[in-house]
Amino acid sequence: KLKSAPDHEVRILLLGLDNGGKTTLLKQLASEDISHITPTQGFNIKSVQSQGFKLNVWDIGGQRKIRPYWRNYFENTNVLIYVIDSADRKRFEETGQELAELLDEEKLSGVPVLIFANKQDLLTAAPASEIAEGLNLHTIRDRMWQIQSCSALTEEGVQVNHRPSFIYPCICFGPSHQRLVFT
């Protein structure tokens, strides 16, 4: 169990396919302007103070050519956040494959995962429960996981100050194999 302390750092790895909304999510968490977002070619790092923790969030680009380099960032990860474009149904299979590969990585063994079903502001977005079922998330038994509907654009379901519980079960209690769905 991690104890809250102003100097306690939590390393969060933010991954997902390109155009999923990872950088927008990161900027919203850091209370930064989101009007000029460009595709991440390498990585972005932001530190966010929240509830006594210093959250160091590593946003790694999601383009196919960058994904092989994701493993360079696995070391010492406390929480994995995986962002899915809920409105891009034609990429659900691809995003599911990438997530499954991440969950099989030895360096991420037991690391809690928070899955953001992003872009819920779009009418074509699949609900978090449908995504959870389609990705067979219920079969995850080796770590704590949670899926949450959100819109990085509108901050719905995102902002730490508005919903402090979304990440803290992951960092405070570690892998308890708990499954949570927030819609």
Asked whether residue 118 is marked as a ligand-binding residue, the answer is yes
Asked whether residue 24 is marked as a ligand-binding residue, the answer is no
In the chain, domain spans: 8-182
Task: Check if 41 is active-site.
Answer: no
| E strand or H helix at 60 | strand 53-60
Q: What is the pLDDT of residue 175?
A: 42
Asked whether residue 13 is marked as a ligand-binding residue, the answer is no
Answer whether residue 25 shows pLDDT above 80.
yes
What CA dihedral angle connects 111, 171, 164 and 55, to 10 degrees? Answer: -90
The pLDDT tens digits of the residues spanning 65-103 come to: 999 999 999 999 999 999 999 999 999 999 999 999 999
What does pTM read for this prediction?
Answer: 0.86
Task: Name which CATH class applies to 8-182.
Answer: alpha beta
Q: What is the pLDDT of residue 54?
A: 86
Contact 150, 115 (CB under 8 A): no
Which position among 49, 63, 97, 178 bears the catalytic label? Answer: 63
- Per-residue confidence at 55, pLDDT binned at 50, 70, 90? confident
